Structure 1
Amino acid sequence: MTRPLWIVSGLTSLACGIAGIVLPLVPTTPFVLLAAFCFARSSPRLEAWLLNHRSFGPMIENWRRHGGIDRRAKRIAILMMAAAFALSIAMQFPLWVLALQGAVLVAMGAFILTRPDGPPRAR
């Protein structure tokens, strides 16, 4: 009974991650990592497909082996967080919303920046 729930959760997470490729405020990496986690518990075939994907595979492998986030991904994540906060300021959100958003973004940014980069990429 739980296997179908893991598969649905994995597919939903992967869909959100793919949406994050084109939507600037939706993060890709956490959703792809969550999809890999769900597929590892439900579908060896889907997990293998994700691990062998040329874009997602290295990201997942880096996280699983080293707890790392690629330096380029870190830069993009921080830039997107700053852009989201700047947009909130430009849209004149209430001060309490900006304070809450700022606190969450600082915490997320600190987590991202303190993760190791992982091994150097083979060129």
Structure 2
Amino acid sequence: MKKNPLRILWLILGFAAIGIGAVGVVLPVLPTTPFLLLASFCLAKGSEKFHTWFTGTKLYKNHLDEFVQNRSMTLKTKFSLLLPASGMLLLAFAAMPNWYGRAFIIFLIIFKYVYFFTRIKTIPVEKS
């Protein structure tokens, strides 16, 4: 990882995003996940130790490593990412009181699957 002159700024943004994400745990109006994802991104940019640790995790190796290197995923990986996200969107669909919101959620579900199967190459599972 190269020396980043904005390292301090990335670290400050990362810790601020963690703080906002933590507040989002108790405040239902503030989403937690996007802030924690932002924190992960910022900390990886600002800290070589965090970047090394994150790229060494089982989660990264199982789901993101192949995508980052080759812009490809196995079918199993695609479905392990798409199905839980679709389940959460279907819960939001059930809770949505208006049809505009429901139509948008259906659009998101369809867009996710179209993107994953047209823009991300599907590779066979390597046999060990």
Normalising by structure 2, we get a TM-score of 0.58
| CA–CA distance in structure 1, aligned partners of residues 69 and 91 of structure 2 | 36
Partner of 1:98: 102
Per-residue displacement from partner, 1:37-70 (whole Å, max 9, x unpaired)?
751x322111111112233234332122111234
Structure 1 residue aligned with 2:27? none
Q: Distance in 2 between matches of 1:36 and 1:119?
A: 29
CA radius of gyration, larger in:
2
Aligned pairs (5 A) from 1:74-113: 74-91=78-95, 93-113=97-117
Q: Distance in 2 between matches of 1:78 and 1:64?
A: 17
Q: Check the 8 A contact 1:50/1:57 in 2, yes or no.
A: no
**Is the counterpart of residue 35 in structure 1 residue 40 in structure 2?**
yes
In percent, how many aligned pairs have the same letter?
Answer: 12
Name the count of aligned residue pairs: 108
Task: Please show how residues 2-21 of structure 1 align to structure 2 within 5 Å.
Answer: 2-7=6-11, 12=17
Q: Distance in 2 between matches of 1:47 and 1:97?
A: 37
Cα distance between partner residues in 2 of 1:121 and 1:45: 30
Task: State yes or no: 1:120 paired with 2:125.
Answer: yes
Going by fraction, where is strand more abundant, 1 or 2? 2
Cα distance in structure 1, aligned partners of 2:102 and 2:82: 17
Gap regions ≥5 residues in structure 2? 22-31
Q: When the two structures are superposed, what TM-score results if normalisation uses the length of structure 1?
A: 0.60
C-alpha RMSD of matched pairs (Å): 3.6
